Amino acid sequence: MYGFDYHRPGSVADATSALGGADDGKYLAGGQTLLATMKQRLAAPSDLVDLGGIADLKGISVSGGTVTIGATTTHAEVAASADVQGAIPSLAALAGDIGDRQVRNAGTIGGSLANNDPAADYPAAILALGATVTTNKREIAADDFIKGLFETALEEDEIITSVSFPAPTSGAYMKFKQPASRFALVGVYVAKTADGVRVAVTGATSHAHRGPRLEAALNENFSASAVDGVEIPVDHMNVDIHAGAEYRANLVKVMAKRAVEACG
C-alpha cells in the first residue's frame, strides 16, 4: 500500500470539503474493495476521506411502507434488522448472504452501490425494488443510477446518504455463486411491486440490469413455468474462466424460476 492522508470528517459538508482539498482523494466507506485494491498497489489515492464518522449516514428506518437505509449501514446491520426483515425479508436475506462475516461487518450499502461491481448484490436489489438513491445533492431513481461497468450516476464529490426501498408485495433474490470469490456468478431478484413485476439481474453482464423479457412473461403469468418460454439473449453475457455465455444465460433462467417459486 502506498502512503496517503487520512481524514475522518463528522459531517457530509466536511467530507466534501476534505475531498475538494485533496489532489486525488477518495471517499472510504466499508473499504471492502478500495482497501484491497490499495493493498495490491493497484490504487494510490492521495487522500482517504472516511465516511464512517458521519452519524447522519447510519441507521435504518421504516415509514409508510418504505425502508430507508443510511449509506454507511453495514450489510450485517441490514441483515439483522427486524425492520428490514419485517418489511422486505428478501432484502435482509440478500444482505445476510453478501461475502463472508468479515465483509458483512465492514461493507456498507452505500459503498457497494457507489462501487457498482458487476457481480455485487445490492445493485440488483435497488433495480428490482425500484429504490431511490438519495445523495447530498439529489434523489436518483434506481433505473437512472446504474450506468455501466463500475459506473454510476454519481458525480465526483457526490455522497450517497441513504437508499429508500418501497416494500414489495413479495420478493426473492437467488444467487448462484462464483465458486472462488462467491460473488454472484448470476443473481436474479424478482419482486412483485405496485408497478407490477420487476426483475433485476446481476453478475451476468457488465452491470446489473432489469430483465424486460422476464418481467413481461411474469406480468402475464407469475409462475416458474412462464420463465421457461423466455429467451435470454447471450450476446452481452460475461465470459470468463468460471462461466461461458450460454451457461450464464441458463443460470439467469434457473435463478429467475427459483426466485419466482420463493416469492410464492
Binding site for another protein (CB under 8 A): 1-3, 40-41, 176, 179-181, 241-244, 247, 250-251, 254
In the complex with another protein, the residue whose CB is nearer, 42 or 212, is 42
Nearest distance, CB of residue 179 and another protein, angstroms: 4
Q: Which three cell numbers stand for residue 133?
A: 438513491
Residue 129 neighbours by CB under 8 Å, 6+ apart: 88, 91, 142, 165, 166, 168, 171, 189, 191, 193, 198
Q: Which three cell numbers stand for residue 181?
A: 470469490
Nearest distance, CB of residue 131 and another protein, angstroms: 28
Q: Which three cell numbers stand for residue 215?
A: 418481467
In the complex with another protein, the residue whose CB is nearer, 140 or 174, is 174
In the complex with another protein, the residue whose CB is nearer, 64 or 179, is 179
Nearest distance, CB of residue 196 and another protein, angstroms: 27
Supply the Cα-derived Rg of the chain in whole angstroms. 18
Nearest distance, CB of residue 180 and another protein, angstroms: 4
- 60-63 and 66-70 strand pairing: antiparallel
In the complex with another protein, the residue whose CB is nearer, 192 or 253, is 253
